Structure formats: C-alpha cells, structure tokens
Amino acid sequence: MGLFRRGSASSDVTELDDDLDEPVVEVEQGPLGPTGRPLHPVGAYFEAAFRRFGVNFGGYLLIAAVSGLPLLGVKLIVSGTSIPGLWAGLFYAAAFALGNFMVLSLATMLVVGSLRGRLGSLLIAGVVTVAVGTLLIWQLVFVAIVFYPLLAFPPIIAASGDATGFGSLWQGMRTTVRWFKRTYACVLGLVIVIAAVAVGFGILLTPLGSVLQQQVTFAITTIIVWPVSALVFRNLYGDITGRLVINDSPKENERRKEVIKRRREKAKRNRERIKKVTGED
C-alpha cells in the first residue's frame, strides 16, 4: 500500500526543453506542509481514495460490512422488541459511531501493518470518540458531520502510533484547528459524495417502496461512504504529516508526457518556419 511510508513526495518541477530558453511546463507550487514539502490539492485525496477503493473494492466492502454488524444487530434487536423510539435512536447512533470507528481503524491498519503496542491507545480513542459520536448522532444527526474530523483523526493518529491514549484526542483537535480549511474542504467533499450516492440509489430503488427503499439506500450509502471517508482523511493526515505520497495516476502521467511532447514538437516546427522565412541555415 505504501501510504504512510517515509519520504518526500516528488514535487512538480519546471521542465525545460534543451533547445528553448523558456519553460515548457509551469506548475504553481501549492501550500507547504510541516516538512517543507508542497501539499497535494484536496481533490487529490478524493482521487486517490476512489482509486484505492476501486482497486481493493472487495476488501473495503468487506471492512464496511464487518463494521456494519453492530448496526445490523441493533436493527434485529429493535425489530424483535418494543424498545421506545428514543432509546432505539440511541442504540442506532452508538452502533453507527462504533462502525465508523472500526472502519477508520481497520483502514489505517492496512498501511501501518500491525496494531501491536497501540491497542491501548486505540481503545481509549475509540471509547471517547464513539461516546461523543453517539451523542452527536443521537441529538444532532443533521449537523453531526461538522464534527466528523474530531472523530476521524484520533483513531488514525492512535493506530499510526503518533500519540498514546488521550494524546491522540488532543492531537486530533490540534490537527483539525491547524489545517481547518483543508480539513473542512474534505468534509464538504464528503457531503457532496453522500448526497450523490444517497440520491442516486434512492431514485434507483424507488420500486422497493418507501420504508424498504430508505433502509436499503441507507445501507448502501453507508457501506460506500464509510471506506471513502476513511481513505480521504487517512490521505489528508498522511499528507500533512509528510508521510503520504499520492502518486499521479497513470493517465495523468501519460497526459503530462503527451503535453510536453506536443509543445516540443510545436516549438521545433516554429523554429523551422522561422529559419525558412529568414533564410537561416
């Protein structure tokens, strides 16, 4: 996977034609991270997240499905008993918060290799974030995503071994505040993804009937959005700590090479035309 490997990302440099005095390709440098390395655009986090989700589609769906088991368990319990709606909402919120924590932890484990020696810190981060997430979802379901970075960073930090115990919670808050614009640009992107997936499947599943349509749409949206959101914030955290290298996609590399090639050929043709007009040898 190589997402959290040490090393500097290959910065975009200006390439020069051997026969020209002017640069062929100019790339504006983005903001710098703590290590002095240019940070990737926010869109790169989503592009890399969708690409990795597509490459390991079955694996991430399995992670999401396993993490959704608490939700399924609550659904079966609530359906078979007469639990009041208020308490049922609390149980659903707790199961959802727990499932999201599991996805974040497992997605990070895929790149750190092992959680040995970090389980204690991860447990503390999990207890606090799940408890806070439960209350937010239970009482503020429509605005809970505003607080998502505060719940997403601690598991990633704890699983990465960058802080222990409550330190991961504090570092998660500091990361959210320090990189506020970048963090909430990712949140806005996730809102767009959630809306697109939910509306799309909601329309597609209209024949199922109102209640079943809502339940199936929610399940599919959750299974897709959980891994994507975990990958996006894992990419964001890796980038701002200087340990994430988001490689350009093969298509992007080929596109850049083709642009450079065409510009060189055009410059060569222009030189030949000038020589013909001026009569130079």
pLDDT digits (tens, 9 = 90+) for 7-24: 433 333 333 344 444 444
Is a pLDDT exceeding 80 seen at residue 154? yes
For the record, the structure tokens of 277 come out as 């007009």
Mean predicted confidence (pLDDT) in 110-120: 79
Q: Which residues pair with 15 in a beta bridge?
A: 25
Q: CA 221, 223, 224, 230 torsion: positive or negative? A: positive
- Domain-located, residue 142: yes
Q: Distance of CA 272 to CAs 263, 264, 265, Å?
A: 14, 12, 11
- Domain-located, residue 213: yes
- Domain-located, residue 260: no
- Domain-located, residue 267: no
- Structural domain of residue 154, as residue ranges? 58-246
pTM of the predicted model as reported, rounded to 2 decimal places: 0.74
pLDDT of the residue at 30: 60
Is a pLDDT exceeding 60 seen at residue 140? yes
- Domain-located, residue 154: yes
Q: Distance between CA 72 and CA 65 in Å, rounded?
A: 10
For residue 24, the SS3 value is strand
Contact present, 162 and 242 (Cβ < 8 Å): no
- Domain-located, residue 94: yes
How many domains in the chain? 1
- Domain-located, residue 144: yes
- Domain-located, residue 273: no
Is a pLDDT exceeding 50 seen at residue 121? yes
